[in-house]
Amino acid sequence: MAMKESAFAGTEEEISNPRGLPINSSYAVNPADNITGYKSFQAGSFKFHRDEYFCYVTTPTAVHTMPADAFLRALMRDVAWGFFYGTVNFDQVFGTTNYYGEVDMFMGATNEAYTSAGRDFVERFKADKLMDVFKQMVSDWTNEGYDPFAAPMETGVPWGIKNGDNDEAVSRERVTARRMVGLPGDTPVRTDTNGYPVNRMFDDVPQDQPEVHAEPGFEHEVSAYNLFGYLSRSDVTWNPSVCSVVKDSLFCPTSEEYILPVEHGNDRCEWFIQLTDEITWNVKDGATGRPRAVINMKAGDCCCMPADIRHQGFSAKRSMLLVWENGSPKIPELIRQGLAPDVAVEF
């Protein structure tokens, strides 16, 4: 659910394009509406606009409506995650699929009703160009006091006409440790003094740090930190960040509250280890959206999400989750070619 910066470094020859789509290079940012104050945006044949309550996505095959809060929370994750691993379904109709350098944006392509009726629509874009439009959109459509990264009880409301902005919140950068949090020159441990107070739901989490006594000469090679204390100070939800890296093995812990704002469609297996409290996962078929399973994970539980599904989590109390990723850029294409399995274990 998070990736290294190098995951986007593919060349054009390496970028997979299973639909054989041409690159669309048409973009537009239109002036603010005289009534609502919001700008409208266009990428290829996709048009986006919002009013006081809703966001609208228009394509040649359909017009899709989403509540502003749901759309902005999903858009924020797509921006922050750099289009993520695989597919980001904003809901059951609209979303993006990442090919690491290029992105397919779709209406209904992972929805069985749309595809069976021939109403699905897909266009392909350079990732950096589409990301620029998405960043402008989340900035313009987020009003003062509203934070699409935060839990609902920690933020303002997204409704109404244009009223200021919250660029400080929507421009947060995800944590991408190069080796491990806390190492010299790497991502620092969170503290009160660097702007990360303990979250209201984690007041009981111990904040003491481990003592490290390294042999002389190894002071920069041996380190440790309190992961639970680190996660208790997260100022966002459903935003897994790379906190340790061993080659392509990434530990991506996160704190979760309320609902994962997207249905994440995997392009590789990913492991979930529930560290505290409880999350319920709705699991669906990645291509059709058909329900496949409901998983209730409690502290200590471990599960693996297959590469052909999509999932959405629900957490009534802020919880801690460790996501373990294989960040190899080769895996999606190996799976598409049938050279790697969809599941981690076969019984």
pLDDT digits (tens, 9 = 90+) for 137-183: 999 999 999 999 999 999 999 999 999 999 999 999 888 999 999 99
Show the beta-strand stretches assigned E in 36-154: 40-43, 46-50, 54-58, 63-67, 87-89, 94-98, 102-107, 121-126
CA distance 314 to 122: 29
Give average pLDDT by consecutive 10-residue segment, the chain, 347 residues: 47 80 98 98 98 98 98 97 96 97 98 97 98 98 97 94 97 92 93 96 96 90 94 96 95 97 97 98 97 98 97 98 95 94 90
pLDDT at 173: 85
Which of 70, 22, 20, 64 lies closest to 46, judged by CA?
64
> For residues 178, 304, 299 and 208, what is the CA-based torsion angle, rounded to 10 degrees?
-10
Other residues' Cβ atoms within 10 Å of the Cβ of residue 84: 22
pLDDT at 13: 56
DSSP code per residue over 273-308: EE-SSEEEEEEEETTT--EEEEEEEETT-EEEE-TT
Residue 170 contacts by C-beta under 8 Å, 6 or more apart in sequence? 76, 79, 138, 139, 142, 147, 148, 149
Judged by phi (left if over 0) then psi (alpha if -120 to 50, else beta), residue 126 lies in beta
pLDDT at 342: 94
CA distance 190 to 236: 13
Cβ atoms 43, 130 nearer than 8 A: yes
pLDDT at 220: 82
Cβ atoms 98, 83 nearer than 8 A: yes
CA distance 277 to 318: 8
Question: What is the sign, positive or negative, of the torsion defined by CA atoms of 241, 245, 247, 250?
Answer: negative
pLDDT at 93: 98
CA distance 95 to 161: 25
pLDDT at 3: 52
- Whether pTM > 0.85 for this model: the answer is yes
Helix (H, G, I), strand (E, B) or coil at 170: helix
pLDDT at 184: 86
Helix (H, G, I), strand (E, B) or coil at 309: strand
Helix (H, G, I), strand (E, B) or coil at 27: strand
Q: Is 94 exposed, middle or buried (0-12, 13-18, 19+ CB in 10 A)?
A: buried
Question: DSSP letter at 97?
Answer: E
Helix (H, G, I), strand (E, B) or coil at 255: strand
